[in-house]
Structure formats: structure tokens, C-alpha cells
Structure 1
Amino acid sequence: MICALASSVCFGTASVFQAAAARAAEPGTGSGVDAALLLRALRQWRYILGLGLDAVGFVLQIVALRSLPIYAVGAALAASLAVTAVVAARVLDVRLDRTEWAAVGVVVSGLAMLGLSSGEEGHTAGSTALRWSMLGVAVAILLLGTVAGRLPGRSRALVLGLGAGVGFGVVEVAVRLIDSVTDFTNPALYALLIGGGSAFLLLTSALQRGSVTTATAGMVIGETIGPALVGVVWLGDRTREGLGWLAVLGFAVAVAGALALARFGEAPESTP
């Protein structure tokens, strides 16, 4: 759980720098899958710093997924928005009112419930069908991004953010389906690579020209609910005996608090 929370700190801090860098980059083609936009964002030192934090967060996420149920790790990652809110308040001089500080407290309370109720990760081996399904979802995200780039304003940001969240969710599940990174016959390995790469492309496009608030909310939904269900239904994730209700409540509370803080994924355009 310490690794999951540390990963959340890394991702939450990275989003502040990446949002500012994406907004400062020159406009792209308008496609949701715009590699050129990502390359332009990479010229911004803030984006590079964000990627470095993402890399550290990813390693910590893998460690956490090897010991905790996916639903617990997913909720901790969603809580990165609480970290983003606090960092934005310090770094970008964004002022949090009492309601927003209360939302941070709600996230922390939800995570505490999950920490008390979550058991060990499930030991059910994922089926071959599940591995191929994850690869199919990862490829579908790329197609979704291409179509979403043509949508107007808020719809575009929501769909791109949701697609990015699903991509990150594919990564969460794929980590559990990979026994060895040298097993190149495992579809889950390619699902992890394609899903993670697609998620970065879609999220960068959403941050650059859409509503970051809407995109971040979509991302939280995409990376928490689906992977949590996969973990429980197909991978055997369970709670401590008699505490299933507390896990459900904690998951819902943590995600709800994170969604309430979604607007802090957005950095002011005037940020130097």
C-alpha cells in the first residue's frame, strides 16, 4: 500500500507539470492520436519532469499490483488527483476552499477504508482469452482516439480522457497477466505496451486542447471501475473476511472524492 500511495504522489505531481507543458505546446493536427503533439510537448522541460515522475510511479505501481488487489491500487491511483490539488495549490498558487480541502479528506478516508479491508492479490491465473482481450482493448483505444479527435469540445475531452483511463487500466490488468517480460508470446505484454502508449497519446491530446477537468474525470472512471471488476471477477481479488462492504464503500468514497477534485488536473495557461 505504501508503494501504491507513493505511486499516486508521483502521478499526481506529474499531471501538474504535464498539463502546463501540453498547453504551452503548439497546436497539433486535432487528432486524438497525435504523435507529433507528444513530440512537441517533449520539448518542454515540465513535460520531461512529469515523464520522469511517471516512470518512478509506474515502477511503484507494478510493485503494488504484485501484492494488492487491483481495486485497491486503482483507487490509490485515482487519489492522485488529491495530490494534484495540493501540488497545484503550492506550485501554481491555486487556492483551495474549504469544500475542496474536504474532498481531499474524503479521498484519504476512502483509502483508509480500502487499506483496512483489502486482502492479498488474487492468485487466479488469467486465461488466454483474457490476455487476448486486453490486447484487443489496447488496439481499440488507438481507433477510439482517432475518432474522438473529430468530436467537439467537451465531448472530445471526455472521450479522450476515458480512453486514456482505459489504457492505463489495461496496464494495471496486464501487469498481473505477465509472468516474464521475456515471454514474447504473451499477448498481455503487447497489451501493456500498446495500452500505455495509447493512453499517453490520448491524454496529451486531451490536456492540450480540451477541458482538462472533463478529461481527468473521464480518466479516473476509465482506470478504476473496469480494472477493479476484472480483478474481482477473473483474477480472484478478494477482501478480508467480512469486510467486503467496507472495501466497496472505500472504493466509492475515494473515487467520488477524486472526481470532485478533477479540475485540479488543469494548469493555468499563463503559467510560465
Structure 2
Amino acid sequence: MGSSGWLYLTAMIVAYGTANLLQSVAVSRTRQEKNFHPSLLLRLCEQRTYLVGVGFQMLGFVLAFLARRDLPLFLVQASVAAGLGVTAVFGVLLLKWRLPPAELALLALLCFGIAGLVIAARPAPSRPVGSATEAGLAVVLAVIAVLGFFAVRLHGAPGSVALGSLAGLCFGAAAVASRPLASVHSWDRFLAAPLLYLLIAHSLVGQLLLGLAMQRGSTTAAVAAMDAAAAVPAALIGLFLLGDQIWPGRQWLAALGFLATLAAVLGMTRYATPQHHRAAPPSRAVPERLATSR
């Protein structure tokens, strides 16, 4: 593979980091939703900031989709977590977030883990999947929806982590669907593939769960929980079912990089501090230069 896959990966990290920040701003201005109901998404869509954030998220998704054509899932999914670093930097610069030393150290560990995975990953196309995998993804979607119905009753950090984790499982399942789908070169086959519609369904439910998670406290905790839950199952499925590969002799580096990344995102769910607690007017929630750009 040429350099395009790595360029897609880098641009994806920036896009996801920007999306997390903008969605967090919009969520902080929206009345808290106490039920697992799509009305939250409808209210959020009334805000231009949220729509721009979703636009960046869609851009990140497209870039991730293109990167997954040749790069293994364990690399792409773990690299999504690097967007959290972009979110934190933009949050400090634009929203005056204050990150404790523990969180800064975890961000440094995250960068170390991603670097190890980049060095260890060996580009390769995905194996095709059968109807059993498609059925499994449909069952997973139903289970996540049921769990979300109960998890929405949690508040504070537990709510952020639980709902963020369920969102991550949805996005991880969407990633599993997109890896073989990215290798389909015919538009007819692409539009007729069940994986496409499973990918869309998982993405919509994941988006709702992420919004609910961000309303309950720390954006960093919600996104970190999401990234951890999205990375682990997708990485295992990629290695055992989809033909993801590691350069010979670098298995130890891949394992170390993945563990470091996982430890960083899990640590952030423990040490992250809340960036907002309630809806606030635009003049209080964001700097004036950001509010006036809406």
C-alpha cells in the first residue's frame, strides 16, 4: 500500500478530535435527556455547532472507511482514540479546559501506544464475511439497544462510562462491517450488501448513545470509554476473522502498543474531570470567537 492509507489515518484522527469537541459543546447546551429516546438527537440537530460536529464525524468515518481498506482494524480503531488527544488540546486552547497531570500523562501514553501500533501494522486487504457474521452484527445491535435502555438511568461518571462503552460497541461493530465492505468495488454490490445497512444502523444508535454519555459529565471519560469498547472487540475480530496482519517479529510491539493504548483510554475514564455539568448559554459555554462562528 502507498502513503494514502497513512494520510487517511492522520486526517481521520484530526476529524474525530474536532467532532468530539464540537459535539461536547452542543451537548452542554442541551437539556439533559433522562430516557433512551431519539428526541435528544432531534434537539441537538437544532444546533449548528452539533451539525458541524456531526459533519466532522462523518468525514472521520469516511476517512476511517478508506483507511480500513488496507490497514488492520486494531490500528484504525486504536487510532480513533488518538482523536481524544486532539479533543483535549482544542478543549484547552478554545474552551479553557483544565487537564490534571494524570490526564496529561495518559495522553502521552496514548501517543506511545499508537506509535507502536503504526510500526507493527502490516497492510492487507480484508477477507470476505458470510451471513453468520451479518446475523451476529444484527443481534449485537439489538442487545446494545436493550442495555442502553437501562444504562440511561445512570448519572454522573458511571453514566458517561456505561453509555460511552455501549456507543463504542456500536461503533466497533460498524468498523467490523466496514472492513470487508471497503473491499467491494462494484456500486451494485455495495448498495445491496447487508453490511452497509448494519453499518448505518450501528452508527445511528452509537451516535445517540454518545450524546447521552456526554450529557452525564466528562466528555473525556465518555469518549475514552467509547474508544476502549470500540477497539478491543474489533481488534480481535479483525485478527481472527478478517485477516488483519502484523509484520513478522513485531507481534510484541503490537501487543505493547495495544495494551498501552487501552490502558490510556481506560485510565481516562477514571481520572478525567467533568468539562460541563449543565446546559449553559453560548456566551458561557464557549469563547466568544467560537460562539460567533455558529
TM-score (norm 2): 0.83
CA distance in 1 between partners of 2:165 and 2:104 (Å): 25
> Counterpart of 2:235?
228
- Check 1:224–1:101 CA distance in 2 against 1; reply closer, same or farther (3 A cut): same
CA distance in 2 between partners of 1:97 and 1:240 (Å): 37
CA distance in 1 between partners of 2:158 and 2:110 (Å): 27
TM-align CA RMSD:
2.2
- Check 1:201–1:194 CA distance in 2 against 1; reply closer, same or farther (3 A cut): same
> Counterpart of 2:78?
75
> Counterpart of 1:252?
259
> Counterpart of 1:13?
18
**Alpha-carbon deviation of 1:213?**
4.4
> Counterpart of 1:31?
35
* Structure-to-structure mapping, 1:120-269, within 5 angstroms: 120-178=123-181, 179=184, 182-183=188-189, 186-261=193-268, 263=272, 266-267=275-276
5+ residue gaps, structure 1, are none
**Alpha-carbon deviation of 1:167?**
0.7
CA contact (8 A) 1:92 1:267 kept: no
**Alpha-carbon deviation of 1:228?**
0.3
**Alpha-carbon deviation of 1:154?**
3.9
Q: Which amino acid aligns with 1:22?
A: V
- Check 1:63–1:107 CA distance in 2 against 1; reply closer, same or farther (3 A cut): same
CA distance in 1 between partners of 2:243 and 2:17 (Å): 29
Partner of residue 108 from structure 1, selected from 87, 108, 111: 111
SS at match of 1:121: coil
> Counterpart of 2:91?
88
CA contact (8 A) 1:160 1:206 kept: yes
**Alpha-carbon deviation of 1:249?**
0.6
CA contact (8 A) 2:81 2:224 kept: no
CA distance in 1 between partners of 2:242 and 2:94 (Å): 40
- Check 1:144–1:117 CA distance in 2 against 1; reply closer, same or farther (3 A cut): same
**Alpha-carbon deviation of 1:86?**
0.8
**Alpha-carbon deviation of 1:200?**
0.3
Partner of residue 7 from structure 2, selected from 2, 5, 24: 2
Q: Kindly, what percent of the aligned residue pairs are identical?
A: 33
**Alpha-carbon deviation of 1:231?**
0.1
Query: Deviation per CA, 1:208-241, whole angstroms, max 9, x where unpaired?
Result: 2355444333212211000000000111111001
Query: Deviation per CA, 1:147-179, whole angstroms, max 9, x where unpaired?
Result: 222345444332211110011101111112322
Partner of residue 44 from structure 1, selected from 40, 47, 54: 47
CA contact (8 A) 1:5 1:77 kept: no
CA contact (8 A) 1:157 1:214 kept: yes
Q: Which amino acid aligns with 1:107?
A: L
- Check 1:195–1:182 CA distance in 2 against 1; reply closer, same or farther (3 A cut): farther
5+ residue gaps, structure 2, are 1-5, 279-283, 287-294
SS at match of 1:209: coil
CA distance in 1 between partners of 2:164 and 2:192 (Å): 30
**Alpha-carbon deviation of 1:20?**
1.7
CA contact (8 A) 2:157 2:216 kept: no
CA distance in 1 between partners of 2:218 and 2:90 (Å): 19
TM-score (norm 1): 0.90
